[in-house]
């Protein structure tokens, strides 16, 4: 059995494998749209390595976190709205 942690994504609890990034967890939960651009277009991760900022989410109340560079920790609260 893989080692898992529990996080919530927009209020829904999900089990994710330890070592998984928040971005990967959100994609695995079925979401492709992470945020909206300044003119309201749907956006998701692009570079996968922390330079494009398209994957940014609110994590534990802190906005603009680059979810592709952050490992899921037990109890993390992830939100796709600012």
Partner 1 sequence: MAAAASAAQAGAHVGVADDNPSFGGQIWRGQETSPSTDLAKLWYQRFQGAKVECLRGCRVFGAEEEKTLVAETFDGWAELRFNKLILATGARERFLPFPGWTLPNVMGAGGLQAVVKSGVKIRDRRVVIAGTGPLLLAVAAHLKRDGAEICVVAEQASWNRLLRFGLGLTGQPSKLRQAIGLKRDLSGVKFVANCWPLAAEGSDRLESVTLLSGSTTWKVPCDYLACGFHLVPNAELAVLLGCILADGFVQIDDLQRTSVHDVYCAGEPTGIGGLELSLVEGQIAGYAAAGNPEKAKSLFARRSTLRKFVARMDRTFALNRELRSLTGDDTLVCRCEDVEFGRLREHWSWRSAKLHTRCGMGPCQGRICGPALEFLLGWRVESIRPPVFPARVGSLAMAPESHAKQC
Q: Residue 50, interface with partner 1 (CB under 8 A)? A: yes
Task: For residue 52, give Cα distances in angstroms to 17, 65, 77.
Answer: 25, 12, 22
Q: Residue 28, interface with partner 1 (CB under 8 A)? A: yes
Number of residues that bind partner 1 (CB under 8 A): 37
Instruction: Specify whether the CB–CB gap between 54 and 38 falls below 8 A.
Output: no
Pairing of strands 56-59, 35-36: unpaired
Token readout for 6 is 């529990």
Instruction: Considering the complex, state which of residue 49 and residue 82 has its C-beta at the smaller distance from partner 1.
Output: 49
Which residues make up the interface to partner 1 (CB under 8 A)?
A: 16-17, 19-21, 23-25, 27-28, 32-34, 37-39, 41-54, 56, 64-65, 68-71
């Amino acid at each position: 059995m893989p080692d898992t942690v529990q996080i919530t994504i927009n209020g829904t609890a999900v089990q994710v494998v330890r070592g998984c990034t928040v971005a990967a967890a959100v994609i695995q939960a079925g979401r492709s749209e992470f945020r909206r651009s300044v003119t309201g277009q749907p956006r998701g991760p692009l570079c996968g390595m922390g330079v494009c900022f398209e994957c940014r989410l609110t994590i534990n109340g802190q906005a603009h976190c680059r979810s592709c560079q952050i490992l899921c920790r037990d109890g993390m609260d992830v939100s796709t709205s600012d």
